[in-house]
A = this chain, B = another copy of it.
Amino acid sequence: MILAEAQRCFSEHGYDGTSLNDIAAGVGIRRASLLHHFHAKEAIYQAVFERALSDWAVRIEQAIDVPGAEGWTYLDQVLTTAVRWFAENPDFVRLARFESLAAANDHLGFNLGEALRPWFQQAVDYFDREMGAGRFRKQDPEQLIITGYGAILNYFSDAHFLEGLLDRDPMTEEALETRVEHIRTFFRSALEP
């Protein structure tokens, strides 16, 4: 599948660091044949991104949509699910990172931040409710979410860097278990009244 290989390349080396030859070689065809399916490199990138984003949308809806969910138990569940999913989709994480690092109007026909804004707003509303009901300590919801996604995304996008920093593989089952536990404990410490 072309999109799968393209995602692998883009997430590993970024847009500029990936050539059509790289992708074509991975697929097992020639550069020109790629362009039979997509009229330009940017079109491939956009297709990769849209697919990844809609996959992600499905998963997040599943994780979010827990009936009668509230308080710490719910947040704990969402955090754990997020970490697990990101752990299983390192490509997506790196792709998102490259994209949020890119200057506006590079490669993508739309703004990633804007695209995620509805979910962001939903999360803000959740924290507003919980804090208003006294189930969480009062903090700035927007800032909290920014910190949260950073704490999770970072770990996976910077795996190469962390391997150098820690001098061990940060992606083993054991290391990931440690990471999940930390995220849960840390947020709980900060939020529980």
Q: Is A89 engaged at the interface, CB distance under 8 Å to the other chain?
A: no
Q: Which residues between 152 and 193 of chain A lie within 8 Å of chain B, taking CB atoms?
A: 153-155, 157-158, 160-167, 178-179, 181-183, 185-187, 189-191
In the bound assembly, the distance between CA atoms of A191 and B150 in angstroms comes to: 19
Q: Is A54 engaged at the interface, CB distance under 8 Å to the other chain?
A: no
Interface of A is mostly: helix
The answer to whether B165 and A120 touch across the interface, beta carbons within 8 angstroms, is yes
Q: Is A40 engaged at the interface, CB distance under 8 Å to the other chain?
A: no
Q: How many residues of A contact B (CB 8 A)?
A: 59
Given contacts A98-B101, A158-B100, contact A182 B16 (CB under 8 A): no
Q: Is A58 engaged at the interface, CB distance under 8 Å to the other chain?
A: no
Given contacts A17-B16, A191-B189, contact A146 B139 (CB under 8 A): no
* Min CB gap A113→B, angstroms: 2
In the bound assembly, the distance between CA atoms of A166 and B144 in angstroms comes to: 13
A13 and chain B: residue at smallest CB distance: B103
What 0/1 readout, one digit per residue, does chain A (100-118) give for beta carbons within 8 Å of chain B?
A: 1111101000011111110
Q: Is A31 engaged at the interface, CB distance under 8 Å to the other chain?
A: no
In the bound assembly, the distance between CA atoms of A155 and B167 in angstroms comes to: 26
Residues of A within 8 A of B (CB): 12-17, 94, 97-104, 106, 111-117, 120, 137, 139-140, 142-144, 146-147, 149-151, 153-155, 157-158, 160-167, 178-179, 181-183, 185-187, 189-191
Closest CB pairs A-B (n = 3): A113-B164, A150-B154, A143-B182
